[in-house]
Amino acid sequence: MYSTSASTWTCSDVEQWLIHNGFQQYSKILCDKHKIDGKALLLLNEDDLKTPPLQLQILGDIKRLYLLISTLQTNQASEYDSIDTFKTNGKPSSGDFIHLRRRNKRSNKTVQYQDSTDINKPKFEREIHKTVISFVYAFVVALLTAFVMVVVHDRVPDMTKYPPLPDIFLDSVPMIPWAFQACEMCGLILASIFSITIFIHKHRFIVLRRCFALLGTVFLLRCVTMFVTSLSVPGIHLQCAGKVYGDIWTKLNRAFEISFGLGMSLTGVHTCGDYMFSGHTVCLTMSNMFITEYTPRRFTLLHTLTWVLNLFGIFFILAGHEHYSIDVVIAFYISSRLFLYYHTLANNKTLHHADRRAQVWFPMFYYFKSNVNGIVPNEYEWPFKWPRSIKCYF
């Protein structure tokens, strides 16, 4: 019997083992009444022997029997690559599981035995290919947005016939010439902080996937709102004239200039007609939301700074009279709501298949979330193997 693995013992084998070691008085209760075979024997602990239903009464017998069982478990462990047992207060709980891996010497295969509770264990797989797909999605939408911006520029209403619309903020605050450049500086600071966060975040590829998916979806919606309605120019200081880009090739060339210039005046890009809704507000708000979500909650100073940059950036957009107030309000609301909507769905597994509306707002949501289970923890690491001495502590 002792030449075979204890996990293969039958109840009769366990009974013989007990008699051989001088515990024949317990063979009936363990083997006949409670059907303890080899696998069950390896899972017994001291509390199992002392508490119901076994409830052995003699303390010395309990200690000696448990010592024998512990020795048997230790010997058994040497036959396996690993035995990982998770326990609570000396007793296996409903969430505990035992993971056994035994290597077959001939086939060199690994056989795994695990409890079903392991299936619900949070998993955060990198899946770089999905991040690349989300980047391509966002990049294509960026090109489409730039092309639509060129189209709406050619359709901008004549300023002599269609003066700026009444706006309570623009009519009350005088235009500040440097305000729009200040807005873009706020955006660059937020983008830099977000880039550092992504750089050291342990789950950077998941965060990037979400960023590209959300930006692509918001700017795709912006393409629609820009195209369907052309608003008049919000300020007489803007030099806007329609019918500038005639043929399709001129339009495409201008679209590439806008895309690679990131649509920023700091890079020499000036556009007209792309008012509803504000792309600068979208970028400011999304950067702020991602920084506050994927940095530790105790970084209140950082979060306060990002919110200040976000709100001041919005103020500078309006102070520069580059957008109507409604453009900024709608952009902030859509960006923040879609961010919260996406993360509510992503963090609540029960909603993954319950709310099919996600397929409309986020077409690739289920594909991106298939191997991400649970709230992404804010864990940080140095992404390179060199220098090895650098670690991140947060």
Contact 314, 284 (CB under 8 A): yes
Task: Give mean pLDDT, residues 56-81.
Answer: 77
Q: Is the pLDDT of residue 370 over 90?
A: no
203 is catalytic: no
- pLDDT confidence bin for 19, thresholds 50/70/90: confident
> 117 — phi, psi (to 5°)?
-65, -20
**pLDDT over 80 (residue 265):** yes
**Block residue for tokens 């590829």:** 205
Instruction: Name the more confident of 370 and 3.
Output: 370
Mean pLDDT comparison of 88-102, 140-154, 228-242, highest-scoring range: 140-154
pLDDT at 79: 56
- Average of per-residue pLDDT across 54-65: 83
Q: What is the pLDDT of residue 390?
A: 55
Looking at the predicted structure, is the pLDDT value of residue 184 above 90? Answer: yes
Domains and CATH numbers, the chain: 6-120 (1.10.150.50), 126-373 (no CATH)
More confident site: 135 or 2? 135
Whether the pLDDT of residue 217 is over 60: the answer is: yes
Identify the active-site residue in 201, 203, 280, 321.
Answer: 280
From the list 48, 154, 167, 327, the catalytic residue is 327
- Whether 280 sits among the annotated catalytic residues: the reply is yes
Average pLDDT, the chain: 81
pLDDT at residue 31 in the model:
85
Catalytic residue among 34, 323, 343, 353, which?
323
- Calculate mean pLDDT across residues 308-327: 95
Give the mean model confidence (pLDDT) for residues 255-266. Answer: 88
> What is the per-residue pLDDT across 88-130, written as a single tens digit (0 to 9) for each?
444 444 344 344 344 444 444 444 444 444 445 667 888 899 9
Is residue 83 very low, low, confident or very high in pLDDT (cuts 50, 70, 90)? Answer: very low
Residue scoring higher pLDDT (77 or 346): 346
Q: Which of 79-83, 178-182, 308-312 has the lowest mean pLDDT?
A: 79-83
Give the Cα separation of 286 and 72 in Å (integer): 58
The pLDDT score that the predictor gives to residue 97 is 39
pLDDT at 305: 96
Predicted local distance difference test score (pLDDT) of residue 221: 94
- In this prediction, residues 348-353 reach a mean pLDDT of 61
Q: Which residue has the higher pLDDT, 12 or 374?
A: 12
Does the structure show a pLDDT above 50 at 56?
A: yes
DSSP secondary structure of 285-312: HHHHHHHHHSS-TT-HHHHHHHHHHHHH
pLDDT, mean of residues 192-203: 94
pLDDT exceeds 80 at position 328: yes
- What are the counts of helices (DSSP H) followed by strands (DSSP E) for the chain? 14, 5
Cα 101 from Cα 112, distance rounded (Å): 5
Rounded to an integer, what distance in angstroms lies between the CA atom of residue 321 and that of residue 139? 28
Q: CA dist 117 to 57, 88, 97, 101, 219, Å?
A: 34, 15, 7, 17, 41
- Check residue 388 and give its pLDDT: 57
Residue 360 pLDDT: 67
47 part of the active site: no
- Model confidence band, residue 349 (pLDDT cutoffs 50, 70, 90): low
Percentage of the chain beyond pLDDT 90 is 37
Has residue 230 got a pLDDT over 60?
Answer: yes
Point out the least confidently predicted range of 60-64, 249-253, 337-341: 60-64
pLDDT score of 216: 93
Which is more confident, 353 or 292? Answer: 292
pLDDT tops 60 at residue 355: no
Nearest Cα residue to 204 out of 196, 215, 193: 196
The yes-or-no verdict on residue 133 having pLDDT over 90 is yes
Measured CA to CA in angstroms, residue 32 lies from 13, 36, 72, 344 at distances of 12, 8, 21, 53
Q: Which residues does residue 123 pair with via DSSP β-bridges, in sequence order?
A: 373
DSSP string of 313-368?
HHHHHHHTT-S-HHHHHHHHHHHHHHHHHHHHHHH-GGGTTT-TTHHHH-TTHHHH
Tell me what pLDDT residue 246 has.
73
DSSP state of 86: -
2 pLDDT higher than 80: no
pLDDT band at 41 (very low <50, low <70, confident <90, very high): confident
